[in-house]
């Protein structure tokens, strides 16, 4: 059975996308730790990063670097938390490898705080701002 993320990537479930590329996509977390909490997700379904094909894993650094700049620019955050929960025991909820990019501000709540589910309107508005910055516009 496809993972929740595979279903979002296939368009079976809604997602507030920042970008969609051949091997990687980014969309907003529906339970954000902070506004702009973005997930960098490979299209290839694998539970662990180590299970991704080498050509997919090789692209991770470039997308991650660009996405952190994008999230900081749009949210005004001076920093981001980049986090991978690689396995259930590490806190991974969805068995599909992914990277969290969470905007952080001095004095904000703990990084692992899970907020209430964001509204689809809030997610769409943030995704639009992030996508515009990602595209250079």
pTM comes to: 0.87
| Helices and strands (DSSP H and E) totals, the chain | 4, 5
DSSP bridge partners of 40? 26, 99
Q: What is the mean pLDDT of the chain?
A: 92
pLDDT, tens only, 125-135: 889 999 999 88
Please identify which of the residues 37, 98, 112, 113 carries the catalytic annotation: 98
pLDDT, tens only, 30-52: 999 999 999 999 999 999 999 99
114: pLDDT strictly greater than 80: no
CATH number for position 117 = 3.30.428.10
Cβ atoms of 100 and 59 closer than 8 Å:
no
User: Which residue blocks in the chain are alpha helix, DSSP H?
Assistant: 4-9, 54-58, 60-75, 120-134
pLDDT of 119 reads: 87
Cα–Cα distance, 124 to 126 (Å, whole number): 6
* Enclosing domain of residue 82: 4-133
Count how many domains the chain has: 1
89: pLDDT strictly greater than 90: yes
44 counts as catalytic: no
């Amino acid at each position: 059975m496809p993972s929740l993320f595979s279903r979002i990537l296939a368009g079976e479930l809604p997602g507030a996308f920042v970008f969609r590329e051949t091997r990687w996509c980014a969309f907003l977390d529906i339970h954000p730790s902070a506004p702009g909490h973005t997930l960098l997700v490979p299209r290839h379904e694998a539970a662990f990063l180590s299970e991704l094909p080498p050509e997919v894993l090789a692209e991770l650094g470039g997308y991650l670097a660009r996405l952190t700049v994008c999230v900081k620019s749009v949210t005004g955050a001076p920093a981001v938390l980049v986090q991978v929960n690689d396995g259930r025991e590490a806190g991974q909820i969805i068995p599909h490898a992914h990277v969290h990019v969470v905007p952080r501000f001095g004095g904000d709540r703990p990084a692992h705080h899970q907020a209430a589910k964001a509204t689809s309107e809030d997610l769409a508005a943030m995704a639009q701002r992030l996508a515009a910055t990602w595209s250079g516009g």
